Amino acid sequence: MIKQLLFTGGLLAAGSVFSQQGLEKVIVEKYYVSNKEDSVGSVGKLPVGSVTYRVYADMLPGYKFQALYGDANHSLIIKSKEGFFNNEDRGASTANAIKSAQLKNNSVALDSWFSVGAAADGQMGVLKSEDDNKANLLPIASDPMLKNNDTAMGIFLKDQDGIIAGTPMPVTFVGVENMLGIFDASSLTDSIFKTNNGAISALGGATGPTSENRILLGQFTTKGQFSFELNIQIGTPKAGESQYYVASNPKAGEYTLPSLIYTSPSKTTTTPPTPVDTTNKASLNLIENHSITTFPNPCSDKLFVKFDKNSSGKYNLELLSADGKIVTNKVLDANSDLNVVDLTTYNKGVYFVRISNQNSIYNQRIIID
């Protein structure tokens, strides 16, 4: 089993679980949308409209990312309906293998790869909103590449590129070496990465470069609909203990989070993403380009859900327990001033709210106290 392979070198087998859940959520950032200039200047097929996604594990302070993994009970799946872009000049299957000086060349900065923190050799990946903006490693102003100003990607790369100096850990592959061609030197060769006995790991554990403790897990560029099912192992602040988060069907000693499963909207929006409030007070996210607010958090007997004035139609709300079981369903009306969810019958603890329609999904961790 793959877990037996992961627990050499100081990692502990399943069953030893720290009391606090250290993985808060998985974040998907729309990093860039390629335009005609990018497609023409690319080395490797880069269709116009390709989206570059970055995926982060958002952990509490003191926790360490250890592995993305698939085992007999839980598949690790990363896929696209139209294949993944790979730069055929200086691209690689890990960000660590790309020299930072090469990011200025053609479409190297849009290459698809795995990571345990790196955005390139000697560089860490952070959300564009977290970039300290001390240096920009992407093409100079006179170069037409990476200059798209499509507001669907939020902050433009010319302003903040989500790359800061650092010393990222190397990626260690276990049992997946023969599948890495999908993210290597040939573009659009395959559309699915899947393993039930392999891992992308950081031996000894990796922490994020900012106080938010977010680790970049990979960058994936595709024109097709992008989706994943992730299983993540993290180390707790107590030496030798690990936690396991699975996309579905958690067993004893495993947790699940709604954000471990993701499918991109089928249509690219031209509205800038609403910033996510990462405090415990409230959270915003986009569904059909509109915002949702859930409050208060922590909450007791009631949870309120408010849609902005431009929202309309029906949405489905699911309340999930910490182990991923759906404990209630409720239909919400976006035309209503305020939707109320009764929580009086539920025990205190951590829950997850999932609100969805046919186009997108909103996830929020809440605490009932």
> Would you state the pLDDT for residue 17?
41
Every domain of the chain and the residues it spans: 2-263, 286-368
CA geometry: angle at 367 spanning 366 and 368, to 5°? 120
> Would you state the pLDDT for residue 10?
30
The separation between the first and the last C-alpha atoms of the chain, rounded to the nearest angstrom, is 39
Residue 190 half-sphere exposure, CB side, CA atoms within 13 Å? 12
Question: What dotted CATH number matches 286-368?
Answer: 2.60.40.1930
Q: What is the pLDDT of residues 67-97, one digit of tens each?
A: 999 999 999 999 998 999 999 988 899 999 9
> Would you state the pLDDT for residue 351?
86
For residue 151, which phi and psi values (nearest 5 degrees)?
Answer: -70, -10
Which pLDDT tens digits describe the chain residue by residue (369 residues)?
Answer: 445 445 433 333 333 344 478 999 999 999 999 999 999 999 999 999 999 999 999 999 999 999 999 999 999 999 998 999 999 988 899 999 999 999 999 999 999 999 999 999 999 999 999 998 778 888 877 789 999 988 888 899 988 999 999 999 999 999 998 888 899 878 888 789 999 999 999 999 999 999 999 999 999 999 999 999 999 999 999 988 999 999 998 988 899 999 999 999 865 433 333 333 333 333 344 444 457 888 888 898 899 998 887 778 888 888 988 766 788 889 998 888 899 999 999 988 888 888 887 666 777 778 898
> Would you state the pLDDT for residue 189?
80
> Would you state the pLDDT for residue 260?
95
> Would you state the pLDDT for residue 307?
85
Q: Length of the chain, please? A: 369
